């Protein structure tokens, strides 16, 4: 399939289903959206949560078997995809703000679950999340702002974020450098397509020599934004079509989120950023404090070539296993990195069956 023929923000990847949009608002005034892909009634509903700068598009890609179609074919006929404030489908990441992952755990995920429950009632809900969607949803679950979740699958990272050394340096100094010296307050993988001699264009040109694995500027900038000097996926796992569509599948990233991630990396666990903001005082300072009370089973996924969050999920599984033995599970994916477990060309054969097995066992 020619990537030029795939429209941006398309739902064409899910043709055999009823597709409906369900907008909702958060308590702090942001309009968000749930998209429902319904092929058949099912007692077990699946909610998909994207990561920072991506969107629901990562789960409905038309160039290969996507997760929504895979779940439909496996009998999970009612699948929902969330676009929360980190979504590339919204302008929020390109705005000047001071949002943190605490805001998402406090506002976005509870509001999304409330809207979802309005339509599905008390049916079982399983959540599959990626990247900072995994971190923020895990925070919401362990803080008790969301309840009634039957199972949770977290890819790449959850409550014990760990990064390579170079990433720690970028997390620590990058936000101030971007906001107060280089400008603007966000990074964008589309900088390679920016007008010549603009700041974004110059940044893309500056990072390109350090990423010789391909000639796609968006891949280079994404590696600079998130990778520890290496790509955020294994190139061999990605379709050339997907690789060419990276500017459409990833959006801008407000650098203030980096400050919260940096604080977590330094602490070795998910911690609150600060007390400022309505409701934040009600959140735990350490999100793992009440881990013994959490009964939702979690499947921790991670590629063994994860150059973004390294062994974060291995460490998190080990920690929680010492608190609630036998409740949670770990799956290490050979040859995979950070993003490709959901966006790779052959994930329907190499990754999704492990997720499906976990879902079916928890569906009861």
Give mean pLDDT in consecutive 10-residue pieces for the chain, a chain of 364 residues: 74 96 97 98 97 97 97 98 98 93 98 98 98 98 98 98 94 93 89 92 92 91 87 96 96 95 98 88 96 98 97 98 98 98 98 98 91
The pLDDT assigned to 215 comes to: 93
pTM exceeding the 0.95 threshold for the entire prediction: yes
Length of the chain: 364
Total Cβ atoms within 10 A of residue 345: 20
Distance CA 204, CA 217 (A): 7
What is the reported pLDDT for 4? 52
**pLDDT value at position 6?**
93
């Amino acid at each position: 399939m020619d990537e030029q023929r795939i429209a941006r923000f398309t739902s064409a990847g899910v043709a055999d289903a009823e597709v409906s949009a369900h907008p909702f608002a958060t308590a702090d005034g942001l309009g968000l959206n749930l998209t429902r892909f319904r092929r058949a009634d099912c007692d077990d509903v699946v909610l998909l949560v994207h990561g920072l700068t991506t969107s629901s598009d990562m789960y409905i890609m038309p160039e290969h078997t996507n997760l929504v179609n895979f779940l439909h074919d496996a009998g999970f006929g009612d699948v929902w995809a969330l676009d929360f404030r980190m979504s590339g489908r919204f302008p929020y990441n390109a705005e000047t703000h001071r949002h943190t992952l605490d805001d998402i755990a406090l506002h976005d995920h509870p509001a999304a679950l409330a809207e979802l429950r309005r339509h599905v009632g008390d049916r079982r809900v399983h959540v599959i999340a990626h990247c900072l969607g995994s971190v923020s949803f895990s925070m919401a679950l362990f803080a008790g702002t969301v309840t009634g979740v039957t199972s949770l699958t977290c890819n790449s990272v959850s409550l014990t974020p760990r990064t390579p050394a170079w990433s720690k340096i970028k997390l620590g100094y990058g936000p101030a450098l971007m906001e107060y010296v280089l400008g603007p307050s966000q990074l964008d993988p589309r900088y390679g397509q920016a007008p010549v001699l603009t700041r974004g264009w110059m940044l893309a040109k500056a990072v390109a020599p350090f990423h010789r694995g391909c000639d796609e500027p968006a891949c280079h900038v994404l590696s600079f934004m998130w990778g520890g000097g290496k790509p955020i996926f294994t190139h061999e796992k990605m379709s050339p079509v997907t690789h060419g569509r990276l500017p459409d599948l990833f959006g801008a990233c407000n650098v203030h989120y980096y400050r919260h991630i940096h604080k977590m990396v330094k602490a070795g666990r998910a911690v609150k950023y600060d007390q400022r903001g309505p409701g934040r005082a009600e959140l735990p300072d350490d999100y793992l404090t009440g881990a013994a009370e959490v009964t939702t089973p979690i499947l921790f996924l991670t590629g063994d070539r994860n150059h973004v969050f390294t062994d974060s999920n291995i460490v998190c599984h080990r920690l929680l296993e010492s608190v609630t033995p036998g409740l949670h599970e770990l799956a290490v994916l050979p040859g995979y990195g950070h993003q490709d477990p959901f966006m790779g060309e052959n994930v329907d054969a190499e990754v999704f069956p492990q997720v499906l097995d976990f879902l079916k066992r928890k569906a009861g």
